Structure 1
Amino acid sequence: MTPEVQLSDASSAGGDDTRPPGVDALHSTIQRITANIEQVLVGKPEVVRVALITLLSEGHLLLEDVPGVGKTSLAKALARSIDCSVSRIQFTPDLLPSDITGVSVYNRRAENFEFRSGPVFANIVVGDEINRASPKTQSALLECMEEHQVTVDGETYRLREPFMVIATQNPVEMEGTYALPEAQRDRFSARVSIGYPDAAAELEMVAEHAVQTPLQELQPVTDATEVAALQRAVQQVHLSRDLRRYAVDLVTATRQLPELRLGASPRSTLQLVRAGRAQAAIAGRNFVVPDDVRSVAVPVLAHRLVLTSEARAARRSTADLVKQLLTRVPVPRGEDERD
């Protein structure tokens, strides 16, 4: 496995159009992870793409859909594809914040307090049905997801790198669920809905998964060291000044829509450009083009927006509003993306 990956500019390799070696290494790893996940989640390549973009952009993924469509299976498949520490938290109404972060326990023999780490101290944390816990418990993840650290009794403990939270949640109208606070939703880099499979994919699933789930035999195809190297490589993907302005214009436009009570935050602008870089790297380029940003705009922005009561009554969708903005905000044209 590759300990370090560089996405050098194509011009440094003699000025031809061949892809930089780092892109080839990234493609090889992504193909292996994709093949692994698709053994479990059949017929959902777009969902897998968003999950991998979130991983490469050092973000956190929110899977929202009705029960039984494979949210937890996707989260587990991605976690098992990487040879790293993985923990799973089943969110329930009686779960406490200390059950997630850990707690200080008094040691009588040593006559001091010792910190016993919680399940959040892992490379990949799978939070199952996160919106079945109270908002107080959900808030235990705020510091973890943003700063990659935990503060307990005045002491700060760093989390492992790479660190990713993959959370599943049921729609808020389902029984026994709480709405995620705006601050919590904003910390998820992307949200994706899996949806029901088509008839062919469901028939294949019944034929192959009826006796034994592929999750039981899934083997890691990469490790935490390589994933961290790929994340550093994605940071080197070039983003032009005009595309940075385009990302800012998209986010700013959400704050001016009359249908929205709350637009996208500056944090979402950062996540949008990071996801755009990851999409460019997956596509085999070491520079971002407008389509990279546009292809990740809906999963990155839609879940952060809050509709007005009138828009909710009219059954407007935040995803549709983002798609409308993509047709209205001018796209940069005629520039050299590597300039």
Structure 2
Amino acid sequence: MPARDAEVTVLRRHADGFSPRDLDEAGVQTVVTAADLRAAQAAVRNVTAADDVLGYIVDLAQATRQSPSVQLGASPRAATALLATAKAWAWLGGSPAITPDHVQTMLLPTWRHRLRLRPDAELEGVSVEALLQSILQQTRVPL
């Protein structure tokens, strides 16, 4: 939480007419254009994924669904999201194809909010992060 004085300053700015939607007034500067973003999206679509890596993503998703600690596991849509984030991560690193390392790197940020643990597992101190780390360790990684 911000300090009280900082919150009063924020409220003062709003009371005086500040609009967070006015990006120029907020001091926000353009870093990339819409065309730059479209070009990046197109480049990410060109990152390839081998069948064994796609199978790895499916195996990870199925492992969440089979875990006794999980009430709601990773859906096929979650698997698609992991594929998309792994492709973006690969592109950012200059790789033309995703690897298991890309999948592993993006698993937590992509799935952390998508799983629901059983109440008894939460009471026992199980966390989604620990569960996903365990699944990563137990799932066979393609070569």
TM-score normalised by length of structure 2:
0.81
The aligned counterpart of 1:280 is 90
> Counterparts in 2 of 1:15-164, with a 5 A limit?
67-68=1-2
The aligned counterpart of 1:289 is 99
The aligned counterpart of 1:246 is 56
Is residue 308 of structure 1 aligned with residue 118 of structure 2? yes
Report the structure, 1 or 2, having the larger helix content.
Answer: 2
Unaligned runs of 5+ in 2: 3-19
Question: How many residue pairs were aligned?
Answer: 124
Aligned-pair CA distance for 1:216: 4.2
Aligned-pair CA distance for 1:234: 0.1
Task: Output the CA distance in 2 between the equivalents of 1:266 and 1:295.
Answer: 19
1:314-336 superposed Cα distances (whole Å, 9 cap, x missing partner): 12101110011110000011xxx
Task: Output the CA distance in 2 between the equivalents of 1:278 and 1:306.
Answer: 26
* Amino acid across the alignment from 1:252: Q
Task: Output the CA distance in 2 between the equivalents of 1:304 and 1:219.
Answer: 33
SS of 1:258's partner is coil
Task: Output the CA distance in 1 between the equivalents of 2:80 and 2:104.
Answer: 14
Aligned-pair CA distance for 1:300: 0.9
1:208-232 superposed Cα distances (whole Å, 9 cap, x missing partner): xxxxxxx943411211121012111
The aligned counterpart of 1:117 is none
Aligned-pair CA distance for 1:87: 5.7
Quick one: percent identity of the two aligned structures? 34
Task: Output the CA distance in 2 between the equivalents of 1:281 and 1:323.
Answer: 24
34, 40, 47: which is aligned to 1:230?
40
- The CA RMSD measured in Å over matched residues stands at 1.9
SS of 1:323's partner is helix
* Amino acid across the alignment from 2:72: L
The aligned counterpart of 2:74 is 264
30, 34, 40: which is aligned to 1:220?
30
* Amino acid across the alignment from 2:129: A
317, 327, 331: which is aligned to 2:137?
327
303 and 226 in structure 1: CA distance in 2 versus 1, 3 angstrom threshold? same
Report the structure, 1 or 2, having the larger strand content.
Answer: 1
